Structure 1
Amino acid sequence: MANRLEYIDLLKVFSILAIITIHAFMVWQSAEILNGVLIYSFCEVVRFGVPVFLMVSGALLLNREINIVDFFKKKVNRIVVPFVFYYILTAFVIVVLLNTSHNQVENIFAFRWYFWMILGVYLSLPVINKYVQNSSLNELRYFILLFVLAAIFYQITYYFKIEQYLYLTLFLSPLGYLILGYYLSKKTFNMSANKIVMLALVIFIVSTVIKVFGHQFNYMMITDDYVANTSPILSSWLDVSIFQIMQASSFFLMCKYIYETDAIPFKSIKKVLQTNVISKFVLSVSRSSYGMYLINLIPTFMFYYYIQPLDFTGTQVCLLIIALSLSTFFITWIIVVILGRIPFIKNLSGYY
């Protein structure tokens, strides 16, 4: 296998597309289809985006020799500088060109919550890395087990309104996904790649269906509202429910082992992914993903203020979400690639 892991790039492509799609769903949060089915419920299908990004960070950054000074100069600057650049650009477009405002632009501390979360993760990473370096994969299962049990525990206590005092914030946090991603990237399973992909696909479908129905009927408290308002992670929109952990983990494994399978139709998918054009496209989007995340707010706001107020049927809204997601995906990719090739702007572009 090449030094650059193909499945990591593939995960980043699907994750940024998922995040952009979630933002497209938000444009029409109250839209309905099929006599009362809330269209926004289906955003749970792509809710794996942020958790998988965290898992990718764990797979890439953990168990490495880290010089704290060099780490902060390189890694932290690579997320902070583009954030400031795109914040100014977004504020200019929305406030000046569109002559409007938005609370996320007015309040820099709310703008792009993922940035603030990943910054905290990066600040914690040199410490967590020491734990991973001095632990075997079997020992890391302890952390992951507590991550999973904490997700189940808090979810049950919230659903049944049980007062509790057990404090497991350290485990029920972005660090859980970080270590989980590292673990799954290194773990070798005693089954064929074909079986792993098939099993992961089944788990992904089951967990996604549960999340969609849970959001629609609010009967299991598994939406991100639960996480943001009632979990120990108070100011974050990161979903740490057990079903989100299942969804993100299974998707991670599908992408990892799709390159090793030889079963139909997975073999055909692998063949397409490894063609010259697609592999170059996947690599390019992977390198652009952070910049795409930071800039995708601009086209989303344009749709929100100019298209969302128009009258559409539920079916039309579904088609618009697909169109908005794909158009934003390709437009932001092209913009970031272009900015990444301009000498004095490339370091601001988020293209790496």
Structure 2
Amino acid sequence: MIKRKKIYIEALRILAIFLVLFQHVPAFDYYLQDTSHVMGHLFFTLIAKINVPLFLMISGSLLLNREEGYREIFRKRMIKIILAILIFNFLVYLAENQFVFDLQDYCLGVFENGIDRSYWYLYSYLGFLVMMPLLHRIAQKMTKNDFILILFIHFVFSTIEPLLQWFVPTYLGQSFEFTWAFRIPFSTIKEIFYPLMGYYIDRKIHIESIHKKTLAGLGCLSLLGILISMFFTIWIGNQEGFSDEYLELFDYVSALSAFILIKSFFVHYEAVIPAWISQKIVLLGSVTYGVYLWDPFFRKLFFDGFDQFMIPWVGGFFSSVLWCICSFLVCGILVQFLKRIPKVKSLF
């Protein structure tokens, strides 16, 4: 029998990886190009912004409950990430340069943040792993008040501060930038904030006891946050030009709500979900990391041709969406095959 936790975690992974793929194709910022349908395109862009927060929350839930030393973390986890950085940046480098290789150019690209910017998350994740033993000890002692305080401080810096920086010049007529010197890492650095949030929500909040009205309220709160972000993006965009400046005003609200709502769904309805569907969810969830690694390589090789072929039929936005679906399936099949190879499977 498939464990309840594994099903909802894998479902969250599937959602997160699809949103990651979406963020790497033109549809993600289509609102900048097609202003006649800006609201529809912007809505999907704002939904996609929860992708990395979801992955970090999943990592917090799964890893901050484990007491692992630095040596064990390096051996079991960090080496795997470092190898992925070296191997897949190499493959993308070849695809980007017509399979002509220059060692110096490749090495500089790897250390500068990756040959393909899509791999920035691997570097970020290494930072999380370095902090994992300390975050584990912090997470074990977290209380409800700690959770609320960290969340409130994140609200101040992610929502209030950007709005202040718009309000003061607009209505007081003078330039303003909130001091850079006052920052609280536990709330302002994503690689710390989201793992702690994911751990607390998954390990210390009893989802079964959350009333349906509260769940509905979370959904409404997320929608309200998206609408406010859309309002500022469109309003200011019409005056000064569209940008991504206000896309993360409430992404944390949507991410935390999505985690709670999806977990709640599987907690309450797992018993009536057919076993074969649960098995498919777990299977698809198990290849998400590999899909993330392989997608930039195939995107470099084939996306432009795919996009040019599909646009006359379905338009630019849906061409990108179809690419996400096709990439997930192709990369997922490849990863399943590679997982059968003994020396290779540990990479995924």
Structure-2 separation of matches of 1:242 and 1:28: 17
Structure-2 separation of matches of 1:28 and 1:150: 24
Change (3 A) 1:21 1:138: same
Structure-2 separation of matches of 1:215 and 1:22: 17
Matches within 5 A, 1:20-59: 20-25=21-26, 29=30, 31-32=33-34, 34=36, 39=41, 42-59=44-61
Question: Of 83, 91, 94, which residue of structure 1 is paired with 2:93?
Answer: 91
Paired residues of 1:197 and 1:258 also in contact (CA < 8 A):
no
Paired residues of 1:55 and 1:181 also in contact (CA < 8 A):
yes
Equivalent position SS for 2:178: coil
Percent of residue pairs bearing the same amino acid type:
19
Matches within 5 A, 1:1-352: 2=3, 4-25=5-26, 29=30, 31-32=33-34, 34=36, 39=41, 42-97=44-99, 107-108=109-110, 109-111=112-114, 112-160=119-167, 161-165=175-179, 166-170=181-185, 171-174=187-190, 175-185=192-202, 186-188=204-206, 192=210, 194-218=212-236, 225-226=244-245, 241-261=248-268, 274-308=273-307, 312=311, 316-348=315-347, 350=348
Cα shift readout 1:46-92 (whole Å, capped 9, x = no counterpart): 21111111111111111432222112211212322223222222222
Cα shift readout 1:75-127 (whole Å, capped 9, x = no counterpart): 2123222232222222223323599xxx9997223321111111111111212
Paired residues of 1:204 and 1:247 also in contact (CA < 8 A):
yes
Structure-2 separation of matches of 1:82 and 1:248: 26
Shift of 1:190: 8.8
- What is the letter of the counterpart of residue 176 of structure 1? F
Paired residues of 1:23 and 1:300 also in contact (CA < 8 A):
no
Bigger drift between 14-23 and 83-92 goes to 83-92
Change (3 A) 1:245 1:35: closer
Paired residues of 2:29 and 2:45 also in contact (CA < 8 A):
no
Q: Which residue of 2 aligns with 1:230?
A: none
Shift of 1:198: 2.6
Shift of 1:42: 3.3
Paired residues of 1:28 and 1:308 also in contact (CA < 8 A):
no
- Matched positions, count: 325
Unaligned runs of 5+ in 1: 228-238, 262-266
Q: TM-score, normalised by structure 2?
A: 0.80
Paired residues of 1:137 and 1:187 also in contact (CA < 8 A):
no
Bigger drift between 48-57 and 84-93 goes to 84-93
Unaligned runs of 5+ in 2: 168-174
Q: TM-score, normalised by structure 1?
A: 0.79
- What is the letter of the counterpart of residue 49 of structure 1? N
Shift of 1:252: 0.7
Shift of 1:225: 4.1
Structure-2 separation of matches of 1:271 and 1:217: 46
- What is the letter of the counterpart of residue 148 of structure 1? F
Equivalent position SS for 1:259: helix
